[in-house]
């Protein structure tokens, strides 16, 4: 055991999840406007709107956890 309580996610794990979500967000927008746009502009717009929901979720995940983990 590492000394952490079960069910708690560490700050490093939250940071990794945040960067994966934001990286996926950027990749999805780039793909929407370089590949999907060729086949359907409407699909590219819908994809961009849906991908726009990822940053707030990523921020919530990054800021989750106990107060002491944010002061590291």
Of 72, 61, 71, 65, which Cα lies nearest the Cα of 20?
A: 61
Residue-range domain boundaries for the chain: 26-71
Distance from C-alpha of 18 to C-alpha of 63, rounded to nearest angstrom: 10
Rounded alpha-carbon distances, angstroms, from residue 1 to 6, 10, 22, 60 = 10, 14, 30, 27
Please tell me the predicted confidence (pLDDT) of residue 7.
58
Distance from C-alpha of 42 to C-alpha of 17, rounded to nearest angstrom: 29
Q: What pTM was estimated for this model as a whole?
A: 0.72
Phi, psi at 5, each rounded to 5°:
-75, 145
Interval 25-58: pLDDT, tens? 999 999 999 999 999 999 999 999 999 999 999 8
């Amino acid at each position: 055991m590492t000394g952490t309580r079960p069910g708690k996610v560490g700050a490093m794990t939250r940071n990794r999840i945040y960067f994966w979500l934001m990286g996926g967000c950027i990749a999805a927008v780039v793909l929407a406007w370089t590949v999907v746009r060729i086949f359907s502009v409407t699909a590219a717009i819908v994809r961009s709107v849906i991908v726009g929901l990822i940053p707030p979720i990523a921020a919530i995940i990054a800021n989750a956890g106990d107060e002491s983990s944010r002061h590291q």
